[in-house]
Amino acid sequence: MPKPLVAGNWKMHFTVPEGLRVTEELLHHLHPYAQAVEVVLLPPAIMLWEVAHALQGSGILVGAQNAWWADQGPFTGEISPSMLAGWCHYLLIGHSERRQLFGETDEELNRKLKAGLKHHLEMILAVGETLEEHDAGRTEEVVTRQLRAALFGLEPAAAGHLSIAYEPIWAIGTGRAATPDYANSVMGMIRELLAGEFADAGQVRILYGGSVTAANAPSLMEQPNIHGALVGGASLKPEEFARIVQAAAKVQTTPA
Ligand code: 13P
């Protein structure tokens, strides 16, 4: 299993100067953990290049929050994986806000996944169920559908460049994180599904997302099926984000 991954999804926050100030602060706080944990910042596209530049040589990586699947063309407002290739390391796709507010489909995500991999980006695919689906006991069905459709037709080598973020929608921005046991059990199901898709499924990290804080990170990170976190609100606060990264580093360095 590769080292844990903690990604900070800034969503649509910060002006460019604010984002750069936060990056400087993060560099200061995250420096001690950059070896033990793969730390990725996902700033808005407008400041991605500047943040990447500011992080150069630190071991902390950048990723985009979204991209379209074509290399270029008449897609007003979009950016492409080929524009990110060579300097931006990660690409997040399928966040529930993209699915719900911008109508992204599983089929589109499959195209985006293939496009990102073609340009050698490390991909994070987000999946997760709504509250209604959760309450109706449909979590497994929904997550299975999302994964099967997005992963359809991928090359076996994709496993080495893929992470899955399980983000139950009811836990995002609500302050109501999934319990460690619940998250671990859904993520175990995801692990089994991946084993059926890839010979090398052990390479795929599975991250938990949804109201991760410095307070709940230790109990989440110590679950056997959780290999990192996709953090929203808490990633906007450098000290708190650093404590989440620290929790992941601690699990990594504590012998089982
Ligand atoms: P919060 O951590 O703010 O709940 O957001 C989670 C998320 O959507 C990360 O992608």
Look at residue 81 in the predicted model and tell me its pLDDT.
Answer: 98
Q: For each successive 10 residues of the chain (256 residues), what is the average pLDDT? A: 95 98 96 92 98 96 98 98 98 98 97 98 98 97 98 95 98 97 97 94 97 98 97 97 96 66
Any atom of ligand 1 within 6 Å of the Cβ of 233: yes
Look at residue 253 in the predicted model and tell me its pLDDT.
Answer: 67
CA gap 240, 234 in Å, rounded: 6
Residue nearest to atom 9 of ligand 1 (CA): 232
pTM tops 0.95, yes or no = yes
Look at residue 2 in the predicted model and tell me its pLDDT.
Answer: 87
φ, ψ dihedrals at 122, nearest 5° = -80, 125
Look at residue 251 in the predicted model and tell me its pLDDT.
Answer: 87
H or E stretch at 231: strand 228-231
Residue nearest to atom 5 of ligand 1 (CA): 232
Classify 128 as helix, strand or coil.
coil
CA of 129 to the centre of ligand 1 (A): 14
CB 93 within 8 A of CB 105: no
Ligand 1 pocket mutation pick from 9, 65, 92 by most atoms within 8 angstroms of CB: 9
CATH assignment, 5-253: 3.20.20.70
